[in-house]
Amino acid sequence: MSSDEATVADLDTVVHEPSDAFVESTNVYEFMQTYGIDDYDELIERTTTDVPGEPDSGVEWFWGELPDYLGIDWQREPDATRDDSDGPQFADWYPGGELNIAHNTVDRHAARDSERRNKAACIWEGEEGATRELTYHELHRRSNQVANYLDGVGVEQGDTVALYMPMTPEVIAILYGCFKLGAVAVPIFSGFGVDATATRLEDPEVDVLFTADGFSRRGSRIELKDSADAAIEQAETDVSSVVVYRRFDDTEPPMTGNRDLFWTEAIETRDDTFETRTLDASAESMLLYSSGTTGRPKGIVHTQAGAQLQCAKELYFGFDLKPSDRFFWVSDIGWMMGPWTLIGTHTFGGTMFMYEGAPDYPQPDRFWKLIDRHDITQFGISPTAIRALRKQGDEWLDGHDLSSLRLLGSTGEPWDPESWQWFYENVGGGDTPIVNISGGTEICGSFLMPLPISDQKPCTLGKPGLGMAIDIVDATGESVADDHERGYLVATDSCPSMTKSLWSGDERYLDEYWSRFGDMWDHGDWAQQDTDGFWFLHGRADDVLNVAGRKVGPAEVEGAAIDHEAVNQAAAVGVPDDTTGTAVVLYVITEADIEETDALRGEIRALVGAELGKPFRPREVLFVDEFPKTQSGKIIRRAVQATYTDEDLGDMSSIENPEALDGLEDAR
């Protein structure tokens, strides 16, 4: 058996089978009944493939039916579903159609005759324990005030407005206020330093910046306004207006002349009525930045219709959103999952939960307390965050009622089976599906998404998402999905939420995504379908470890290492080797109270070699206390590798804990 086959075989047990009663209660089951679809396989085929003899099939059919099915309000009905005469790279979705995300997420729910008018759109909790609720009526008024402010300072449709904000309910009003006016929202991660923030102000030539005095993190106040001022000074662009929200009552942040105004002066003094603008379906709504290994971060351009439909589809079908649900995804407004959560939940008048703070403060049971206290029904988090919480011990779950959870979610990186199983059994109670999704900032959603009606194996990503035509191909572009070989994850057709280009222009857009396989989108992930039709990811294809001509994904090495009872987390990287070309170096975080010895290093090396083959046995095993991670919990492997090889770190703007780099240096 090859190492690739062994990897899938290790995950070959179905551990979750939804009951008939649960399946028949889901939104996706109702969709299947409406269109005469019998099972999961037929559902994916009908929504992603033009089925011979079945006119109601294929990508275009699904996305054409979806707006009406989900109850999306058009201000003008589109003339067609899609015009792809310029190829999938530049498909024009819903040509002639007009709508506004803010109308669908706020206005209609806040109407006087709406039963959702006084329902909580957001429940917020701060790290210190304070809570707030924001109703749809209040959100509508505040969003209107933001739109009136922007209009008053001369912002027009297509102008850029940045959000360098902590996770407070005000970010929702800012985002929707931008949508109302037709401004392009530029969310920026609140944990970014000066350089990263300056880049995201300069590249889109931001006109207005919303920021705050600071935010709480592990009991300390992190100042934000000073960083904002330094970024503005460094950026080669003229930020004409800055609005400062006071997160703390006792602060006096630095203010600059006529440029800066406090939130209470700039926003709360404005008229709270505003006529939401009618916008073309293809009008830009958001500019989301994705960090690259080299070069400047990529400005991902999302449209009104694309962001609206993809987010709504995934929350409704993938996470089975119901009117009484309380949806919580651990994210920041600066990452795609932040706007994704807001747009998806609020399209249906739902309630989203927002937390500002660290996951383990003041103790490792903070999330379990939040779920219990606020009756959270869907909870999404990264695999790395779960590994870190699992390391703290099962006892932190004791005494917390997690029975309100209906669905668990995860994204960002491959799982290891042990941590997936721990999440499933200990947090989900052994009967709650894990909707493990993968896609990216570039599509404001997922290429792969299990549905709540399906069986699950540990770590699986299910099948292609609804309306997502994807495949697995070899280096020549030939499909290998049905051969169960590992290959490159590609999209064989466009979807409405696929970035219409990059802010920097079409040349880089085409080079990044369409240059390798012609008319197929190269997503850069290493994927595989097993013999039962379950899809798995093996990490980024550009991270692949090529040892003596044999290839393995770092996630496979890490998974083998985590099989050792002493290992909590692992990060595998490839480094130059005179004999094999590339050798594996493995960084390890041990479980609590484990002695880090040479004997343990030997055991871990031997285990990886036994599971994957001797060529992939790590040349070195190095112990560290933490890995450099993004705020969403993803390990930044290229930083680990570059630290070992003394190479340039490249763009480190997404790192949350730069001090981890010092630990990597010390471990060598």
CA 109 – CA 115 distance, rounded (Å)? 8
Residue 5 has pLDDT above 60, yes or no: no
CA 170 – CA 160 distance, rounded (Å)? 18
Q: What is the largest CA-CA distance in the chain?
A: 74
Distances (CA, A) of 192 to 198, 429, 502, 655: 10, 36, 21, 8
pLDDT value, residue 602? 95
Q: Which helix (H) or strand (E) holds 39?
A: none
Backbone angles phi, psi at 261, to 5 degrees: -135, 145
Residue pLDDT, tens place only, 436-456: 999 989 999 999 999 999 999
Q: Does 336 reside within a domain? A: no
Of residues 469 and 193, which shows the higher confidence score?
A: 469
CA 442 – CA 302 distance, rounded (Å)? 8
The CATH number covering residue 650 comes to 3.30.300.30
pLDDT value, residue 577? 80
The rounded mean pLDDT for the chain is 92
Residue 656 has pLDDT above 80, yes or no: no
Q: Does 625 reside within a domain? A: yes
Judged by DSSP in three states, 175 sits in helix
Amino acid at 498: M
Q: Does 639 reside within a domain? A: yes
Q: Does 407 reside within a domain? A: no
Residue 199 has pLDDT above 80, yes or no: yes
pTM score, whole prediction? 0.86
Please calculate the CA angle 508-509-515 and round it to the nearest 5 degrees.
90
When pLDDT is cut at 50, 70 and 90, the band that residue 225 belongs to is very high
Distances (CA, A) of 326 to 121, 122, 457: 10, 9, 26
Rg (CA), the chain: 24
Q: Does 363 reside within a domain? A: no
Q: Does 654 reside within a domain? A: yes
Residue pLDDT, tens place only, 16-33: 999 999 999 999 999 999
Residue pLDDT, tens place only, 229-260: 999 999 989 999 999 999 998 889 999 999 99
CA 566 – CA 234 distance, rounded (Å)? 46
Residue 578 has pLDDT above 90, yes or no: no
For tokens 């932040």, what's the residue? 338
Q: Does 139 reside within a domain? A: no
CA 626 – CA 589 distance, rounded (Å)? 7
Q: Does 238 reside within a domain? A: no
**Residue 624 belongs to domain spanning:** 544-667
Distances (CA, A) of 554 to 131, 237, 413: 41, 40, 11
Residue 10 has pLDDT above 60, yes or no: no
DSSP assignment string, 458-523: TT---SBPTT--EEEE-TTS-B-TTTT--EEEEESS--TTS-SSBTT-HHHHHHHHTSSSSSSEEE
How many structural domains does the chain have? 1
